[in-house]
Structure formats: structure tokens, C-alpha cells
Structure 1
Amino acid sequence: MKNYFYAIIALFILNSCKINPYRLSDRSYKKQIKAYQKSIGNADTKPLENGQTPKWISTVNFNLRKPNFVVIHHTAQDSLQQTLRTFTLSKTQVSAHYVISDDGTVVQMLNDYLRAWHGGNASWGKNTDINSASIGIELDNNGFEPFSEAQINSLVALLTRLKKDYNIPTNNIIAHSDIAPSRKADPSAFFPWKNLAALGFGFWPEDQLEKAPDYFNVEQALRIIGYNTQNLSSAIKAFKLHYIQTEVDDTLDEKTINTIYSIYKKQ
């Protein structure tokens, strides 16, 4: 009878896991949300170094953070399930707002108004804390194969809503490699940036490239576009991964210079 009882308990636990294998991370998420609600609602003030304690008088003019960028990644993992496990373990210290599977299924993992840990040590223009101003989208792809049509269709649908909801500028839909050129190379050269740009998600160079003037400063132009040029070679390579996907290297030839000029003029 005792063994039968334990078997029933084990079966119950097993079935619970099948119903929601992420119940522990869901519980942790709700717990953290409650903690943040308590912190935000706290009207206590901290003393200053001169001994004065600010007086609290509540304003009525405020709102939640507004995402101003969308950063696109590929997971570099072998399955959606592997990525979801990675993002639901606290020890990994990495997350994203959305994950889109190869079959087009969209999984939301974090409220848009909260800060995900997807960009790491990265910058775009003068913004050195991209995580605080962006929505991170991970595409289920190992980096060595094309993105599926279903996946890109779901991405377009998601970008359409995000761009409308938060009035995200066209040129602020960027790649992980754009914001971290010395560290990252995702999404890969298979990613269809040209197709997305045609739909209003990002810029694309003109088909007939105008020749850059002799005085054109490539490094300065890359900085104006948004790239960190401390490692100019990496910045050039990241630019080409986005805009010249058949020639992903740091060669600064005439085509590359003219392409940089084309994107620079759109800023």
C-alpha cells in the first residue's frame, strides 16, 4: 500500500511536469515581479551625503520605460527547447523578450517594459546600455543554416506590432553583431536584412551605389550610423555582415566604402 501511494505521488509529479515544465521559472518570474512592485511603490527616500533627507512629494506625470530599439539574435543552439531551458535557468544570466522557433511559434518570455539580459557589453551610438532601451528577439537557429519562411513571417508580424506600439524608428532595428562587433556575429549572413528593410524594418543601401566623395571619412560615418569603432576592423566586418552578406570580412574596398556612404546618408 505504501509503495502504491508513492507511485501515485510520482505519477502526479510527472504529469505536472508534462503540463507545465516551466512552472518553477513561472513562479520565480511572478515572485520577482512582486518584489519590483514593492520596490517601485516604496515612497521612502535615502539620506544624502550632506545629511539631508529628500522630502517625498509624488508626481502624477510618469510612465513605464519605452523600448526604443529591437535587437535581433540567433540562438546558436540546436532547438527551441534548449534555448528555453537556457533562458529559464538563473545560472545562465541570459534572457530575451521573445524567442521564435523554426516553425514560426512565438514564445514571449518577458514583459516588453522590463529589461532583458540579451545584449551584454554593447553599445549603439551614444547608448552604452542597450539592454535598458531595447527588446531582444532570439531566432531559433544554430547560425549555419537559412532561417525558415515561417520563422521570418512570425518575426515580421512581431516587428510590425512592436514598431507600432512603441514608435520604434526604422534605423533602430538592428543586429546583435551591430551592437557588439568585437564579440558577436549574429544573426548570421543567412538573415534576410534586405527583405526586412523593404518592409520598413531597417535600412538597405541603394541598388546603384553612389560613389563616396574623396573626403568621406569611413570611421566617422560608421560611428554616426551607430557602430563602436574602437576596433575598426570588427566594425567594418559587422557592417558587412549586415549589408554586404556575401563578403563578410574587414576589407575596405570601393564597394564597401560606397555602401557605408549609402547607409550613412540615410541617418
Structure 2
Amino acid sequence: MPELVVLHYTAMDGANAALARLCDPTAEVSAHYLIGADGTLWQMVDETMRAWHAGAGQWRGIVDVNSRSIGIELDNCGDHPFSAPQMNTLEGLLPTILERWGIPVDGVIGHSDMAPGRKHDPGPRFDWARLERLGLAAARGTGAPPETPDPERFRRLAAEVGYTADVDDATLLQAVRLRYRPGARGPLVPADFSPLDQPALWT
């Protein structure tokens, strides 16, 4: 049964190219849905079936993410904003999936969240804050930043949110920033803690 929804970008030359690849059995890659830049929605794999979209990684201790998730590909290369029609279609699709399978909003994640360092989609131009405002992704924390940026505390907070993949500190920081502070660079700073400072949403 699906417990997660994983968002991706296609990183291909248009939706038709992505559709051809995702439907090619020799490519050994697939997803449940593809949303074009113009808002067109294609379903390629039934939600009850396993799709090959996530690969190696982990979220909330779930290792075989392919078997426990629904994958949504977005026609984008990650270097420009996602179009309004595309986001509108996504925002119409997500509630139906979440309701159908009883998936909580904290189960909506990016590929980069569950595969830190290996994957970067849906990328820094994806509007996570917009999904949060609509109640379609877990709201970020609003806690006061610590005076001293302790890496151990950062790792603990990240794990409580769901970042349980076994990666080094720099890779974890990059993944968290892709989701919450995509413009941030450099070493760990107090501002990196605030988005993670929230009540644990799972046990």
C-alpha cells in the first residue's frame, strides 16, 4: 500500500520524450503519472502497481520506496519555474491520491529528500511553499534558530522530519536546503534549523 508520493522532474526535452521513455520497457524506469508543462496529465501505471521511479534511498526508515510510493513526474529540467498549468494539475491530483490511500501530507516528498546526494529533483525551482500553503505538503517548522549550529542536533531534527538515509553531514544539509532553503550555500548555519523545528509527524 502506498505511504508516500514522490515528486520528480523529467530532465528531458519535453513531455513527449519523457512519455516515450517512461513507457519503454527496456528503459527500466517508470512512474505512475506524468504532468506536462501545459498541464496535461498522463497515467502510465495503476496506483496499485509498483513503478520504477525512486531507486535507492530511504525516507522515514522506508528503504524500498518504489514499493511504498506513487511517483509523479513533472515536465521540467529543474532550471526554471514550474508552470502555472502544471502546478494546477498537480494540486488537483495530489488530494485525490492522498485521500484514496490515506497518505498524510508529510508523505509528499521530493526525490532528493529520499535519495540525498544521488538525486536533486524536483529541484530548487519547485515551489514547496505553495504546496505547504495549500495543505498538500508538510508545513515547515517555525522554531527559533539556535545560537550555535550543532550538526548532531541538525541530524536529529532532520531524522524526525523523515531524512533517515545514511549520508554524511554535507549531503544531508544539501538535501534539506533543496527542500527548505534552496538559495543557501556554505556551512551549516542557525537558519537551517528553523524549517526542521516542528513536532514529529510520524513514529
Instruction: State the TM-score, normalized to the length of structure 1.
Output: 0.70
Question: Which position in structure 2 is the counterpart of 1:217?
Answer: 153
Question: Deviation of residue 223 (structure 1)?
Answer: 1.9
Question: Which position in structure 1 is the counterpart of 2:54?
Answer: 119
Alignment of 1:75-86 (within 5 A): 75-86=10-21
Question: Deviation of residue 211 (structure 1)?
Answer: 3.0
Report which stretch shifted further, 110-119 or 217-226.
Answer: 217-226
Question: Deviation of residue 120 (structure 1)?
Answer: 0.6
For the 8 Å contact 2:147–2:190, the answer to whether it is kept is no
Structure 2 CA distance for partners of 1:212 and 1:170, relative to 1, 3 Å: farther
For the 8 Å contact 2:116–2:167, the answer to whether it is kept is no
CA–CA separation in structure 2 for the residues paired with 1:242 and 1:108: 26
CA–CA separation in structure 2 for the residues paired with 1:133 and 1:212: 35
Q: Which consecutive residues of structure 2, in runs of 5 or more, have no partner in the other structure?
A: none
Give yes or no for the alignment of 1:253 onto 2:189: yes
Question: Which position in structure 2 is the counterpart of 1:151?
Answer: 86
1:170 pairs with one of 101, 105, 125: 105
After superposition, give the CA deviation of every residue in 1:112-133 in whole Å (9 maximum; x if it has no partner).
Answer: 0000000011110211000000
Question: Which position in structure 2 is the counterpart of 1:180?
Answer: 115
Question: Which position in structure 1 is the counterpart of 2:172?
Answer: 235
Question: Deviation of residue 229 (structure 1)?
Answer: 4.1
Structure 2 CA distance for partners of 1:119 and 1:72, relative to 1, 3 Å: same
Code of the residue aligned with 1:197 in structure 2: it is E
Structure 2 CA distance for partners of 1:86 and 1:250, relative to 1, 3 Å: farther
For the 8 Å contact 1:203–1:266, the answer to whether it is kept is no
CA–CA separation in structure 2 for the residues paired with 1:104 and 1:250: 36
Aligned with 1:183: secondary structure?
A: coil
- The structure with more radius of gyration: 1
Code of the residue aligned with 2:21 in structure 1: it is T
Report which stretch shifted further, 90-99 or 230-239.
Answer: 230-239
For the 8 Å contact 1:219–1:229, the answer to whether it is kept is no
Aligned with 1:251: secondary structure?
A: coil
Structure 2 CA distance for partners of 1:100 and 1:190, relative to 1, 3 Å: same
After superposition, give the CA deviation of every residue in 1:53-89 in whole Å (9 maximum; x if it has no partner).
Answer: xxxxxxxxxxxxx211000000011111100111122
For the 8 Å contact 2:39–2:85, the answer to whether it is kept is yes
Code of the residue aligned with 1:258 in structure 2: it is S
CA–CA separation in structure 2 for the residues paired with 1:85 and 1:194: 31
CA–CA separation in structure 2 for the residues paired with 1:190 and 1:135: 22
Structure with greater proportional helix content: 1
CA–CA separation in structure 2 for the residues paired with 1:76 and 1:250: 26
CA–CA separation in structure 2 for the residues paired with 1:256 and 1:210: 11
For the 8 Å contact 2:117–2:174, the answer to whether it is kept is no
Question: Deviation of residue 233 (structure 1)?
Answer: 1.1
Give yes or no for the alignment of 1:68 onto 2:18: no
Q: Percent identity?
A: 34
Question: Which position in structure 2 is the counterpart of 1:131?
Answer: 66
Alignment of 1:28-43 (within 5 A): none
For the aligned residue pairs, the C-alpha RMSD in angstroms reads 1.8
Count of residue correspondences? 198
CA–CA separation in structure 1 for the residues paired with 2:77 and 2:125: 11
Q: Which consecutive residues of structure 1, in runs of 5 or more, have no partner in the other structure?
A: 1-65
